[in-house]
Each structure stands twice: as structure tokens, then as C-alpha cells.
Structure 1
Amino acid sequence: MPVPQSRGLVSRSLLRENAYQALRDAIVDGTLTPGERLNDSDLVEWLGISRTPIREALARLEQTGLVRTKPGRYTIVSPLDLRAARGAQSVTAAMHELAVREALPNLSRAELDAMRAANTRFADALARNDVDAALAADDAFHGVAVTAAANQALRAVLEQFTPVLRRVERLRFSSLSGRGSVAQHDRIIELCAAGDVEGAATATRANWQTLAPLLDALAADDSDD
């Protein structure tokens, strides 16, 4: 019988994306720890794919600041770089503010309901101390405006800089300092529902800027060591 043309075909771009997401998530959630060496053979065995998409994913992760590579010698998980994290926070806050500005004039009732549902899940996850679920719900909440803005350049910038912040946010959402975000999200929804573009954009930027005290605390801890 003729062999189907699609049999066994998995696009290289899909393999690269899957490898990137798996490695990114393992670094962000601490499965792969700062300073840990990433050996090609170990990653091939773990992910079950060839070296080429893994190396392409590692190159992308280096651009986001999650790994460091010395060609021909080693690739390691990057320690948390507070200067890079501060830069990522500034850029990410500005991009989410822009997303709200561009999305709000046409934001539908269904999209507002999606924001409310995401914040409910977020509050529940924080109450259960489920950091992974809290991060997923926070992504879903802010993702409504990002999707509605339909700005690919904005999305590309967020995809580059958000992973660095996720490492910091895991610390925030595992402590009481993350609880205030629920009320901040409610305020953003309220302003969006009222059609207040300036207020909603400003509140969104302020929400992302709440990472600053945690970054300051981490910097203080480093200086004490």
C-alpha cells in the first residue's frame, strides 16, 4: 500500500518549540537549578529528540538570559541576574500597559468574563499555595489583553522577556506578597469594564511593577552574602 505522506513527519520547528518550552519551564520551576550543566546527551535522553532542535532551543534560551553557553566547553542554567530581571520588568510592564491600551477600545464582555474567571483561579491557587497554578492563571489573566491587542511585535517582546521574570514571580506567589495581585487584577477589570483606557493601562503597569520590592530584597540578600 502507498505510504501516507504525513506518516512519521514532525516538523523541526515543532520539535524546537517543544524543546524550548520544556527546558524553559524546567528552568523557571527550578527543576533545572542555577549553575547546572546542560549536557546534550542528557537532554536528548530526557526529551527524546535529536541534538539539533535541542541546540536551537538552547540558543533561544540564551537570548532570553536563562542559559549561558561557552562554545565548545559548556552550557549552564544561568543564575538569576538581578540587573537583567530589572530590565525585563521595565520592558514587560510597558508591553502589558501597551496591550491594554490597544485592546481596551474593542474588549468584549466575553473577554472581561475571561479575565474575571482567570483571577478567580488565581486567587484560589494562591489560597492553596499552588504556585504553578497561580502562574498559569496570572498568564491567562494578562493574556486576554495581549491576545485582544493582536500585536505580534508586542507578543514577541513578551515571549523574550517574561521567562526571566517568571523565576522571580515564583518567589512572590509562594509568599504573602503575591496576595495583593488579586485586588489589583480586580481593579484592572473594573477599569476595563468602565472603558477607562488610561486608568486600566496605568493599573496594569503598576501591577507588573510590584515585583520591584522583591528584586530589591534579593539584591539586599546578595549584598549581605
Structure 2
Amino acid sequence: MVEVLRPARRTTLADDVYESVRTLVMDHAVAPGERINIDALARQLQVSPTPVREALARLESDGLVRKRALAGYTATPLLTRAEFDELVEMRLLLEPVATERAAHRIAGLPEPAEALAALRGAAELPGPAPGTEGFAAIAEFTNQDARFHHLVAEQAGNRLLHDAIVRLRSHLHLFRLYFPATHHGISAREHHRIVDAVTAADADAAGAAMRAHLLAARDRHLPFFETA
């Protein structure tokens, strides 16, 4: 039993350190472009350097930190307006198509109810966590928002399309950039319009609803570039 429990504790520590470092980066406590001192960060979190290195490797795959030879890790700079526009363009190319395919695929399932229920559940978005601020307040919203978009892509039935959408890591980059206070309820309503169209087996409407959602999300983030 002891041998079974040890990996669980190790995994929990690694996940906790990852969440802590991710929060520091998302909150700009580690400023964009700033070099990350692993030993200092380990002392701050009261852990050994090993889980910090593991967390940074995961964050590198998230696109939140960069590693350079002889220079170590630095926090990734914020998206420029040009990079933001490119990210939105990629999402508009990939996600409406994935949503259309998901609507077709689910409609053809012998028992579509389970897939539709999963989408409906993922469409719900939590509000800010009580007693928290900064990224900690929206972390679960960010996770759930990504979960919905990734699930839609998964239901498209094309692994490469799904992987391409996941690799964009768009939610982390966008919410690190700017988080409008009204985002919670509006985004959930837009998600449900997408699920409504998928449930109706209307692929064109589903794709259009996803496109409208992405464009609306783009408009909610544009004020950052006016004030940055």
C-alpha cells in the first residue's frame, strides 16, 4: 500500500507546483520576458528544484515560458496585436470546421445523448472562485472554457484537427493578456448556442455559432491593445 501511495503524493506535489508557477506567470508576478531563477523559485515555494523544473517543462509546452541554451527559462512575452490577430485567424480557420464536423458526427451516432450531455455540461462556466483574486479567481473558468472547445474538437473525429486546436493554447494566452469582468455569463450563453445547434444536427448553424463566439471573444479582448 505504501508503494502505491508514494507516486500519488509525488504527482500531487508536481501538480501543485505547476499550478503555483502557472499562477505566477499568468498574474505577471513573473513578468513577461523575465528570467526565471529555479533555485529562488524553489525556495519561494518551499520545494526542491526538481518539481520546479518539471513545472517549467510543462509550462514550456503550454507556451507560457521559453527555454534557451545557457540562458535557462524566461516567461514568454505577451501576445502582440499582430500575434493576437494571427491566433484569432487560426481559431477561425479550425474551430468552426471542427464544430460542423462534430455536429455531423454526433448526429450519426446510434446513441448521441451521451455526447450531447457531455458538451452541454462542458458549456457551463464557473464564476470567480470566492475569496480569490487574480488568475486564481478565473483558473477554473479558464480550464473549463478550454475543456469545452477541446471537447467540441474531439467530437469532430479528426485527431490532427483536435491536436492542432489544443496546441494553440489559446485560452492561457488570451486570459494572461486580458480578462473582461463580464466574460463569464456571456461566454456560457455563446457555448450553449453552439450546443443547441449541434443538438439540432444543424452543422451550418453550429459552425456559424462557433464563429460568432470566437469573433465576440476577440472583441472582448481588443480593449487590452487600446490601453496597453
- TM-score w.r.t. the length of structure 2 is 0.69
Verify the 8 A CA contact 1:173 1:179 in the aligned structure 2: no
User: How much does 1:149 deviate?
Assistant: 2.1
Count of residues in Structure 1 that have an aligned counterpart in Structure 2: 207
**C-alpha RMSD of matched pairs (Å):** 3.8
Structure 2 CA distance for partners of 1:192 and 1:173, relative to 1, 3 Å: farther
Verify the 8 A CA contact 1:37 1:75 in the aligned structure 2: yes
Q: Which runs of 5+ in 1 are unaligned?
A: none
Matched, 1:161 2:173: no
Correspondent of 2:147 among 137, 140, 145: 140
The Cα offsets for residues 65-123 of structure 1, whole Å up to 9 and x where unpaired, read as x3345542353212312222221222123322222122222222112112222233x1x
Q: Which runs of 5+ in 2 are unaligned?
A: 107-111
> 2:30, 2:199 → 1: CA distance?
41
Structure 2 CA distance for partners of 1:35 and 1:171, relative to 1, 3 Å: closer
Q: Which amino acid aligns with 2:123?
A: N
User: How much does 1:196 deviate?
Assistant: 0.7
- TM-score w.r.t. the length of structure 1 is 0.70
> 2:144, 2:185 → 1: CA distance?
13
The Cα offsets for residues 163-192 of structure 1, whole Å up to 9 and x where unpaired, read as 4x4242367655114432222122111111
Q: What secondary structure is seen at the aligned counterpart in 1 of 2:74?
A: strand
Correspondent of 2:113 among 92, 109, 118: 109
Match of 1:81 in 2: 79
Describe how 1:205-216 pairs up with structure 2 within 5 A.
205-216=211-222
User: How much does 1:50 deviate?
Assistant: 7.1
Greater CA drift, 125-134 or 186-195: 125-134
Q: Which amino acid aligns with 1:88?
A: L
Describe how 1:1-225 pairs up with structure 2 within 5 A.
22=19, 26-28=24-26, 30=28, 32-42=30-40, 48=48, 49=50, 57=58, 60=61, 64=63, 66-69=64-67, 71-73=69-71, 75-82=73-80, 83-107=82-106, 108-120=112-124, 122=125, 124-125=126-127, 130-163=137-170, 165-169=171-175, 174-222=180-228
Structure 2 CA distance for partners of 1:84 and 1:20, relative to 1, 3 Å: farther
